[in-house]
Amino acid sequence: MLSDASHEARWISDPYVAAACPRSILCLAMVVKGQLVGVLYLENNAVRGAFTKARIEVCRLLASQAAIAVENAILYTRVKAVSEQLQRTNAALEGEVLRRTEELRAELAERTRSEEAREALQAEIIEVQRARLAELSTPLIPILPRVMVMPLIGTIDAERATQVLEAALSGASANRAKVVIIDITGVKHVDEDVAMTLVRTARALSLLGCEAVVTGIRPEVAQTLVGLGLGLQAMVTRGTLASGVTYALTRTGARLAYGSQR
């Protein structure tokens, strides 16, 4: 308790005291069961010594009652917070139960569709492998400027015949090839379908301004082609791949470089 704070040596330099010039000040602790819950601060700027002994006793009583009220408010706030937390927890649990139920339903539905998905994936893998095998079965290799070679090996059926035609056209167009050498040395059997494939490919390449050279023709293959009576005007034939490359060199004017260059 200060009778005149503005004249107290201890407080005279305090910024608040210097600015507000308070006189009578009373500060009481608000204690409940030995625990400090607040501070009761009273100030009188009109007179000095406003807080007499009797008034201090009254203020102590008020501070005690106020401390109890504050403690009750704190307890109520805590109880309310706990209750709200329990409600949130219950709501979260209910939400979790609903979420897990939906997950279980989704898992059951996924199991029902898993076999179909597995079959679809397997079909997709087979298709990718088929496409890769098709690419490997009809390779188109550039060996010289504007000269490409397609070595064919194995058996040519209707599907592969279509692949040969498509690969030859797309490769020749993309590389602006002038000569495409189709080597059939590795083809096991040449029948009418294979012969038609060669003729169709040669004719299609000629429409792109590209010349088709068929190499690797064995005597029995030549006999088959002649016996079928197919028009072979659109393509040039050579017995070996080497002779086909030599022909391509003469047509394009390219040269082979031997040895290493530094």
Residues 148 and 229 in one domain: yes
For 19-57, what is each residue's pLDDT tens digit? 888 888 899 998 888 888 889 889 888 888 888 888 888
Residue 148 amino acid letter: M
Residue-number span of the structural domain to which 214 is assigned: 139-252
- Please say if the pLDDT value at position 234 is more than 50: yes
Residues 247 and 143 in one domain: yes
Residues 61 and 144 in one domain: no
What's the domain count of the chain? Answer: 2
Distance CA 262, CA 260 (A): 7
pLDDT at 8: 82
With respect to residue 112, please indicate whether it lies within any of the assigned structural domains: no
The C-alpha angle with vertex 152 and arms to 182 and 213, in degrees rounded to 5, equals: 10
For 77-122, what is each residue's pLDDT tens digit? 989 999 989 898 898 888 889 888 988 888 888 888 888 887 888 7
Residues 63 and 143 in one domain: no
- Please say if the pLDDT value at position 262 is more than 50: no
Q: Select from 21, 46, 75 the last residue of a domain.
A: 75
- The residue among 139, 140, 146 whose CA lies nearest residue 248 is 146
Q: Which two tokens stand for residue 20?
A: 């507000």
- Please say if the pLDDT value at position 126 is more than 50: yes
Residues 243 and 154 in one domain: yes
Residue 9 amino acid letter: A
With respect to residue 119, please indicate whether it lies within any of the assigned structural domains: no
Distance CA 86, CA 82 (A): 6
With respect to residue 113, please indicate whether it lies within any of the assigned structural domains: no
pLDDT at 191: 75
Q: Which stretches of the chain are assigned E, i.e. beta strand?
A: 24-32, 35-44, 141-144, 147-154, 179-187, 211-215, 235-237
Q: pTM of the predicted model, to two decimals?
A: 0.45
Mean confidence (pLDDT) of the chain: 82
Q: Give every CB contact of residue 169 below 8 A, 6+ residues apart in sequence.
A: 201, 204, 205, 208
For 161-199, what is each residue's pLDDT tens digit? 788 888 888 888 888 889 999 888 887 777 777 778 888
Find out whether 235 and 214 touch, Cβ atoms under 8 Å: yes
CATH number of the domain within which 225 lies:
3.30.750.24
pLDDT at 110: 85
With respect to residue 130, please indicate whether it lies within any of the assigned structural domains: no
Find out whether 230 and 253 touch, Cβ atoms under 8 Å: no
